[in-house]
Amino acid sequence: MKPQRIILVRHGESQANVDKYLFGKIPDYTIELTEKGCKQAIEAGQQLRDLVKEESLYFYVSPFWRARETFECIANAFPRTQFDYSEELDFASRNGDTSDRMKSLIKYVVNVKSMVYSIIVFLAVKRRLMCMIG
């Protein structure tokens, strides 16, 4: 079934948004939201709830900690029966791609620097959206 609409949400403010040198100190995927980022995500959840009302939802979530935290804050605005979700690895598995190439790509994405990661994510999201909408 094709979605009626697709809404993209970026994570809330992260620790690395506050300290740009953090990328050189800890792995990118472990960077968490700040308190402000959590508040932004909660607010995004409330706004999304107001927008979609009782529509069923499907969330596709990056495995990066800041993205997962953002998802959890947003999801708290909805009854659990209103949505389903998966992470990137789950999405690949559900769509039949469990190849070593896919696993290697995802492992690579987790380890790349921020700018390159953003480009890869953009292209990957675009590809996935094209698969979803036909």
Query: The whole model's pTM is what?
Result: 0.68
Say what the pLDDT of residue 15 is.
Answer: 96
- What are the domain boundaries of the chain? 15-133
Per-residue pLDDT averaged across 74-99, rounded? 73
Say what the pLDDT of residue 49 is.
Answer: 95
E strands present in 27-70? 57-61
DSSP designation for 111: H
Q: Which residues pair with 58 in a beta bridge?
A: 84
Say what the pLDDT of residue 122 is.
Answer: 63
Alpha-carbon gap, residue 134 to 129, rounded angstroms:
8
Say what the pLDDT of residue 31 is.
Answer: 92
Residue 48, helix vs strand vs coil? helix
Say what the pLDDT of residue 113 is.
Answer: 42
Sequence-distant (≥ 6) Cβ neighbours of residue 32 within 8 angstroms: 14, 15, 65, 66, 69
Over residues 12-48, the pLDDT tens digits come to: 999 999 998 998 898 888 899 999 999 999 999 999 9
Closest CA to 40 of 13, 64, 69, 72: 13
